[in-house]
Amino acid sequence: MKPLESSTISAFVASKLREQILSGEIRQGEPIRQNLIAEQYGVSIIPVREAFRQLEAEGVVELLPRRGVVASKFTLDKALEWINIRRLIEADIIGRAIDNMTEKDIAAASAILVRFDNALKEHRDMKHWSELNWEFHSTLYRPADQPETMALLESLHKKCDRYHRLQLLDDDHIKRAAKEHGELLKLCEQKKKREAKALLSLHIKGVGEDLKEALQNEK
């Protein structure tokens, strides 16, 4: 098997497993047997192991002694820590990005936001909500030209995926998120760096508050 083929297959397996774990189809703490996964998708063990390594780096699975690979247990404390790290990094990178942002960048972010808003309003493509959220944010951050920071942020967004979906199940949360995304885009277009940084910090902090509220409502 060529390296490119192996990489493509492992990415496919990782994507499928990630969705099963984040949706709850594979329960928290449940063992994941590599031979069964390989059989399920008709692939060899090698790309399955590569998929496990990718998901472990994302915090979606854990490698435990004598238990092998298990689906990670997600906690509110862990989620809030990830969200706070996001807030600190993203409030900084948006300022750097605004200095280099072009009309083309704004147009690209605007087009993504239309798709995201429509998906939220119609409650469709729920499993892609976090992807669209990252696509919107990353489009605004990319002009900062900070590839290492972007890689870290992408990992954090993936870690927060499960919680982000839960946070957006409430209609009020959806409306506020959509409103703040629109305001952030406008501030970026107007090159209002200080205001954009402040709004983004509040926006991400609000994700944590929404999450706490959502989990309390589940009890």
pLDDT tens-digit map of 184-215: 999 999 999 999 999 999 999 988 887 777 66
Structural domains present in the chain: 3-71 (1.10.10.10), 76-218 (1.20.120.530)
d(CA 134, CA 141): 10
28 three-class SS: coil
- Whose tokens are 């063992």? That residue is 31
Integer-rounded Cα Rg, in Å, for the chain is 18
Please give the mean pLDDT across all residues of the chain. Answer: 86
pLDDT tens-digit map of 115-156: 988 887 766 556 677 788 899 999 999 999 999 999 999 988
Query: Residue 69: in which H helix or E strand, if any?
Result: strand 68-71
Tell me the mean pLDDT in the region 11-17. 90
Residue 173, phi then psi, degrees to nearest 5: -65, -40
Q: Would you state the pLDDT for residue 125?
A: 58
Confidence band (pLDDT; 50, 70, 90) for 2? very low
On the question of pLDDT at 48 being above 70, the answer is: yes
Tell me the mean pLDDT in the region 73-97. 91
Q: Which tokens hold the place of 94?
A: 């948006």
Higher pLDDT, 73 or 40: 40
Q: Would you state the pLDDT for residue 63?
A: 87
Tell me the whole-structure pTM to 2 decimals.
Answer: 0.73
Count of other CB atoms within 10 angstroms of residue 159:
23
Q: Which residues pair with 70 in a beta bridge?
A: 31, 62
d(CA 65, CA 122): 44
pLDDT tens-digit map of 33-43: 999 999 999 99
- Of 14-23, 43-52, 90-99, 175-184, give the lowest mean pLDDT range: 14-23
- Of 50-54, 141-145, 214-218, give the lowest mean pLDDT range: 214-218
On the question of pLDDT at 217 being above 60, the answer is: no
d(CA 144, CA 61): 31
d(CA 62, CA 144): 33
On the question of pLDDT at 45 being above 90, the answer is: yes
d(CA 170, CA 219): 15
d(CA 120, CA 129): 8
Q: Would you state the pLDDT for residue 214?
A: 66
